[in-house]
Amino acid sequence: MSRPGRRATIIDVAARAGVSRQTVSRAMNDMPGISDETRDRVMAAAEELNYRPSRFGRGLVEQGPTTLGLVVGTLANHYFAELGAAVVRACAPHGWNVVLAEGEDSAHPEKAAADLSRRVDALVGYGVATAGIRGGGMPVVQLDGTAEHVPDVGVVELPREQAMTDLAAHLRERGARRPVVLDLGTDESAGRTRALVAALDGLVEDGQVPVRVVDARTGHPEALRAILAEGADTLVAFNDELAVRLLRALRRDGVAVPGDVRVTGVDGLEISTLVSPELTTLAIDIDEVAAVTVDLVAGMLAGRVPLRGEDAHRTVPYRLEVREST
Amino acid sequence: MSRPGRRATIIDVAARAGVSRQTVSRAMNDMPGISDETRDRVMAAAEELNYRPSRFGRGLVEQGPTTLGLVVGTLANHYFAELGAAVVRACAPHGWNVVLAEGEDSAHPEKAAADLSRRVDALVGYGVATAGIRGGGMPVVQLDGTAEHVPDVGVVELPREQAMTDLAAHLRERGARRPVVLDLGTDESAGRTRALVAALDGLVEDGQVPVRVVDARTGHPEALRAILAEGADTLVAFNDELAVRLLRALRRDGVAVPGDVRVTGVDGLEISTLVSPELTTLAIDIDEVAAVTVDLVAGMLAGRVPLRGEDAHRTVPYRLEVREST
DNA sequence: CTGAAAGCGCTAACAA
DNA sequence: TTGTTAGCGCTTTCAG
């Protein structure tokens, strides 16, 4: 190609094929008004140069669709994967594209989000701080954000307080007296774990609800046995992923649920209804979260909704879903 | 804004703030060499006009990262959702962005894929025909494609023959004699179902392996009871999603697995290890599928690999994963 | 600190 | 059937 190391452009192809840029465009886009012979020559030249049209040049003149960027902590977490799917679905009626990115694997999650913010028309983050992003007029929405984010970005808050209170009442009614909160030991899990401990505080006679850290992927069978040996009668897992793994570990050890010990999760993933026993959990309608978020973004893009402040604040609450595991 | 109905551009903002376009650029991008006063004035003008920089104009001059488009049938299927997550992960080391799209919900799946193909640097399709796309030099890869696609696009083939043969042998050894294949009744499921029937043919004494259509989301308890009443001793589900729902329905009816009936799935989703009994399935390493696919695309983009033909053909086989449900 | 000029790669509209 | 012209919106480079 004309400039080695650089990607071939329409000009390189035109030169090689001995035609004008416009003729190359006609050939590449299968447009009428070009002879077969010329087309073949152009296509051959394009192939030789490994030419691909730039989507930017094309988008500039064609006015491509709105693109929404979604940054989540890690797609290894099914909750984020389901959210991604829900957001894609919610964007489809608008004709928007969705760029999905993980914050966690990159060295600087905030950097990943900031980078992406320059390539999209709007940015949604969950489990990644978006508040610091200088969007330059671009809609930025923090999912699972709190009041403190409101001055900087749009916020969709997912309050769990009421559901946690309901959970505590439910567990009390079921006779639970020695709950243990199982944490993943990550930075993000800290806040939710604190909230769970606070909500369950009324259940225990003396002292505080203990917190134990277990492995996210295995549920850490040994740690689990130690916890049960200490007399725990209820395992309150940080999320459903962990809870279903705990259920598996308990099953393998022959521990009855909810007979010997109760188990609860958080998130309301579909999987919580497919395991045995079906899991009691704090659930949220992820399609509603996605719909509310996309609607908020749409309002911002249209200029109907401000980019920050109380008017850019939405709420979708968790609710208690009682099933077999308690 | 200057041209009503049209999105504001940097020129509109510059005019409104009484500065040059470059000064607007400096303000929007937080660059040095601009007075606070001017910056504020520009930002105010931008906000009033609901101005957002065009990602195309920006990308044109900045040479944005490679963007890969992934079109799947429907993200409601966990298999596709996990694939999406795996592809995002596999693209991260390259610094590529991923645009995720569903083909199924749009009226014309092929149209959705063709549209997306104009907005990305490479396209990967699964459960959606990509063969007809005139990529114009753009890498197009058909996932779960077959030899017939090879002349048109890159292909990652996911052969199930050997695994199905192994499954038949395994079931025979376990004493299965009356298998039933459970289909979803969709167009896409037909091929796999035929293959399952053929592979299991040797198990039955006389006649053919029967096929029954059941509901994807519920497993259709009534249909299931009828099937068992007919004497089926093995339920070969079209995929894991269906299989775990069958397990739930059987559990609720008090049918023992594998005691009363055996159950198998296809896909090897994580959920197949979390249910009880754990599911025997034809599994594939979805991270490997993603890695092979992304590597193929990378080769095409670099010009090392042709866009079609046998050299653009990869294979990742399914394998039999025997667990508790058989 | 601010502005003018150039050019990124492409396609639509018009001219030949 | 082919070529020419004129932008699309933005940032970079260079002048002031």
| CA distances from residue B51 to A131, A154, A155, B25 in whole angstroms, order as listed | 20, 17, 21, 12
Query: What are the DSSP E strand ranges found in chain A?
Result: 67-72, 97-102, 122-126, 140-143, 154-157, 179-183, 211-213, 234-237, 262-267, 280-283, 313-315, 319-321
Best CA proximity match to A189, nearest among A180, A181, A177, A198: A181
Distance in angstroms: CA B56, C1' D10: 8
Which of B3, B55, B78, B300 to mutate to test binding with chain A, by most A CBs within 10 Å of its CB? B55
Task: Please give the protein residue whose CA is closest to the C1' of the nucleotide D10.
Answer: B57
**Using the beta-carbon criterion (under 8 Å), do B65 and A119 form an inter-chain contact?**
yes
Q: Nearest nucleotide to A36 by CA–C1' distance?
A: D1
Tokens, residue A50: 């490994």
Residues of chain A contacting B66 with CB distance shorter than 8 Å: none
Residues of chain A contacting B276 with CB distance shorter than 8 Å: 248, 251, 275-276
Phi-psi domain of B166 (left: phi exceeds 0; alpha: psi -120 through 50; beta: other)? alpha
Q: Say if residue A310 is exposed, middle or buried (CB neighbours under 10 Å; 0-12, 13-18, 19+).
A: exposed
CB contact at 8 A, B166 and B159: no
CB contact residues (below 8 A), chain B span 73-112, against chain A: 75-76, 78, 81-82, 84-85, 88-89, 92, 97-102, 105-106
Distance CA B263, CA A224 (A): 30
Distance CA B235, CA B203 (A): 13
Question: Regarding beta strands A122-126 and A140-143, do their DSSP bridges make them parallel or antiparallel, or are they unpaired?
Answer: parallel
Which of B 18-47 have CB under 7 A of nucleic chain D?
Answer: 21-22, 24-25, 28-29
Distance in angstroms: CA A153, C1' C9: 34
CB contact at 8 A, A47 and A77: no
More confident residue, B8 or B262: B262
Phi-psi domain of A309 (left: phi exceeds 0; alpha: psi -120 through 50; beta: other)? left
Distance CA B125, CA B131 (A): 9
CB contact at 8 A, A274 and B244: yes
| Closest chain A CA to residue B218 | A274
CB contact residues (below 8 A), chain A span 260-279, against chain B: 270-271, 273-276
CB contact at 8 A, A264 and A234: yes
**Using the beta-carbon criterion (under 8 Å), do B55 and A59 form an inter-chain contact?**
yes
Q: Say if residue B7 is exposed, middle or buried (CB neighbours under 10 Å; 0-12, 13-18, 19+).
A: middle
The full set of domains in chain B, from first to last, is 10-49 (no CATH), 67-158+286-317 (3.40.50.2300), 160-284 (3.40.50.2300)
Highest mean pLDDT among A199-203, B44-48, B111-115: A199-203
More confident residue, B63 or A154: A154
| Residue A61 approaches strand C within 7 Å at CB | yes
Question: Regarding beta strands A97-102 and B97-102, do their DSSP bridges make them parallel or antiparallel, or are they unpaired?
Answer: antiparallel
pLDDT band at B6 (very low <50, low <70, confident <90, very high): confident
List per-residue pLDDT tens for chain A, 326 residues long: 444 567 889 988 998 999 988 899 999 888 888 888 999 999 999 988 899 999 999 888 888 889 999 999 899 899 999 999 999 999 999 999 999 999 876 667 777 788 888 889 999 999 887 777 766 788 999 999 998 888 989 999 999 999 999 999 999 999 999 999 999 988 778 889 999 999 999 899 878 899 999 987 776 888 899 999 999 999 999 999 999 999 999 999 999 999 999 999 999 999 999 999 999 999 999 999 999 999 999 999 998 999 999 999 999 999 999 999 99
Q: Which of B60, B101, B275 is nearest residue A274 as measured by Cβ atoms? A: B275
For B77-93, how does the pLDDT look when each residue is reduced to its tens digit (9 = 90+)? 999 999 999 999 999 99
Q: Which of B60, B105, B275 is nearest residue A276 as measured by Cβ atoms? A: B275
- Cβ neighbours for A303, distance < 8 A, ≥ 6 positions apart: B50
Residues of chain B contacting A92 with CB distance shorter than 8 Å: 101-102, 105-106
| Residue A67 approaches strand D within 7 Å at CB | no
Over pLDDT 90: what percentage of chain B?
61
For B128-153, how does the pLDDT look when each residue is reduced to its tens digit (9 = 90+)? 877 777 667 889 999 999 988 889 89
CB contact at 8 A, B130 and B142: yes
Task: Please give the protein residue whose CA is closest to the C1' of the nucleotide D11.
Answer: B61
The residues facing A141 across adjacent strands are A124, A154
Tokens, residue A190: 């800290």
Statement: residue B306 has pLDDT above 90: yes
| Residue A29 approaches strand D within 7 Å at CB | no
Tokens, residue A17: 């094929």
Query: What are the DSSP E strand ranges found in chain B?
Result: 67-72, 97-102, 122-126, 140-143, 154-157, 179-183, 211-213, 234-237, 262-267, 280-283, 313-315, 319-321
Statement: residue B127 has pLDDT above 90: no
**Using the beta-carbon criterion (under 8 Å), do A51 and B137 form an inter-chain contact?**
yes
**Using the beta-carbon criterion (under 8 Å), do A46 and B137 form an inter-chain contact?**
yes
Distance CA A305, CA A152 (A): 14
Task: Please give the protein residue whose CA is closest to the C1' of the nucleotide C4.
Answer: B20
Residues of chain B contacting A56 with CB distance shorter than 8 Å: 56-57, 59-60, 64
- Cβ neighbours for B310, distance < 8 A, ≥ 6 positions apart: B150
Best CA proximity match to A83, nearest among A144, A135, A140, A131: A144
Question: Regarding beta strands B280-283 and B319-321, do their DSSP bridges make them parallel or antiparallel, or are they unpaired?
Answer: antiparallel
CB contact residues (below 8 A), chain B span 224-263, against chain A: 244-245, 247-248, 251
Residues of chain A contacting B325 with CB distance shorter than 8 Å: none
The residues facing A260 across adjacent strands are none
The DSSP H or E segment spanning B83 is helix B78-91
Distance CA A15, CA B26 (A): 36
The predicted pLDDT at position A5 comes to 61
> Phi and psi at residue B68, in whole multiples of 5°?
-105, 130
Best CA proximity match to A282, nearest among A163, A143, A159: A163
For B180-220, how does the pLDDT look when each residue is reduced to its tens digit (9 = 90+)? 999 998 878 888 999 999 999 989 987 889 999 998 777 68
Distance CA A97, CA A66 (A): 6
Chain mean pLDDT for chain B: 91
Lowest mean pLDDT among A243-247, B117-121, B251-255, B259-263: B117-121
The predicted pLDDT at position A34 comes to 87
Long-range contacts of B140-144 (CB under 8 A, 24+ apart): B140/B307, B141/B293, B141/B296, B141/B297, B141/B300, B141/B312, B143/B83, B143/B289, B143/B293
The predicted pLDDT at position A135 comes to 67
| CA distances from residue B92 to B68, B69, B161, B279 in whole angstroms, order as listed | 11, 14, 32, 31
CA dihedral B194, B195, B196, B199 (to 10 degrees): 130
Q: Which of A56, A76, A248 is nearest residue B59 as measured by Cβ atoms? A: A56
The predicted pLDDT at position B2 comes to 46
| Closest chain A CA to residue B84 | A81
Statement: residue B3 has pLDDT above 60: no
The number of CA neighbours under 13 Å toward the Cβ of A79 is 22
The predicted pLDDT at position A2 comes to 45
Statement: residue B21 has pLDDT above 70: yes
| Residue A13 approaches strand D within 7 Å at CB | no
Tokens, residue A106: 């990159």
CA distance B22 to chain A (A): 15
Q: Nearest nucleotide to B35 by CA–C1' distance?
A: C1
